[in-house]
Structures are given as structure tokens and as C-alpha cells.
Amino acid sequence: MVEISAQEVKALRERTGAGIMECKTALVEAGGDQEKAIEILRKRGMASARKRAGRATTEGMVGSYIHMGGKIGVLVEVNCETDFVARTPEFQQFVHDIAMHVCAVEPLYVRREDVPEEVIERERHIAREQALADPRMKGKPESVIEKVVEGRLNKFFAETVLEEQPFIKDNSRTVGELVKELIAKTGENIRIRRFIRYKLGEEADADRSSAAPAEA
């Protein structure tokens, strides 16, 4: 069994926010490798997050971010289960970071299921036309063409869906992964419900806004 020092556990805890025993167990499993231990903790956190996904989120906060001297502004609503978690520095920093991300990256939807079916079908049609026009696709079986179409659709989602976008402050993680990590840390279900992005001089119907269905 690999010997893990208290300093190693402390370092991992500072980087992940996980509990002492969770950090020690992950380090033992990773053979003392900090990066592997972080990956182990992430995977466990995501599994835990899936279990909590159905729980009601009726608390939370609305955060804001203003950029370029008041020329761009974002409001974002993030929900959690209790007011206690909503008032924690970690939760409030997360909401601020999401508002900043929306300001910079301009997503159109919160999650994939929020994308209207007609938009998906339009993008699928465009992707298919592009694939068929590609000389490299000539004579390829339908299964190959469909795989290319799905790949381009996934790229569209990664560009327009908030939870599938690489986080602006850490491109190695998506916003959705950040949500799952916060769920693991707080022990509560966390849900980005909606956002709206304003840019000075834009027409009202050009404002970037998105809302997920309200929970009962």
C-alpha cells in the first residue's frame, strides 16, 4: 500500500474541496499521483451528482456580470436545494463565474434538451449537405456519413449549449462538469436555470437569453 502524507492530502483537498478521507482514498488508489487522484474524485463526484439530479431546487440566487464599462451585461439564475448552500462563497463564486462565461462565450441554450427540435433538424440538414458535398465522402456508406453528421451536430452543441461549452477559466472542463463537481462538494442538486445577455445597442429580439422549464 502506498504511503500518503498529510501534506499530500492537504494539497489535494485545497485543489478539489473534497473531504480528507475522500482525498486520501483517491491518492492511495492513484498511487500518490495528484492528477490521477483529481480525475478519480471527479468521476466519483459525477456519479454522485447523477443520483441527486432529480431532487428539487427551490433556492439559489440571481447573479450578474457587467463588462466593457457597462456595454455588455448578463443575469443568470442558478438554483440549489437550501438557502444555506446559496449563501456559501463557493456557490456565489460559481454563479459569478457562470455569468462571466455567458458574457464572454455567448451560449444560446442552457442544456441540450433546451434546443428546439426545429433548430436541431436544421443543423442536421446543413451538416448532412456539407458531408455529401465533401469529395472525401464520395462512395462512403450511409453509416459513415451519419457519423460525420453526428460529429458536426455535437460540435454545434458544444458551441451553443452552455453546459457543453468548455469553461472559459479552465478549458479542460465543461460548464456541465463544473456543475457536477459543485453538486459533489455541496451534497445538493445544483441547476443552472436560465440566463439573459444584454449588449448595448442590440435590438430586443437579438438579446441572448435562455430559460429552462421551471420546477414544481
- Helices (runs of H) and strands (runs of E) counted in the chain: 8, 6
Predicted confidence at residue 197, as pLDDT, reads 94
CA 55, 44, 108, 145 torsion-angle sign: negative
Structural domains of the chain, with CATH: 6-52 (1.10.8.10), 59-111+161-211 (3.30.479.20), 116-159 (no CATH)
CB within 8 Å of 152: residues ≥ 6 apart = 123, 127, 130, 131
* pLDDT 10s digits, 139-165: 888 889 899 999 999 999 999 999 999
User: How large is the average pLDDT for residues 71-87?
Assistant: 93
Predicted confidence at residue 127, as pLDDT, reads 93
User: How large is the average pLDDT for residues 13-41?
Assistant: 83
In terms of C-beta distances under 8 Å and separation of at least 24 residues, what long-range contacts does 125-132 make, across chains too? 127/152, 127/153, 127/156
Strand partners, 59: 80
In terms of C-beta distances under 8 Å and separation of at least 24 residues, what long-range contacts does 40-43 make, across chains too? 41/12, 41/16, 41/184, 42/177, 42/181
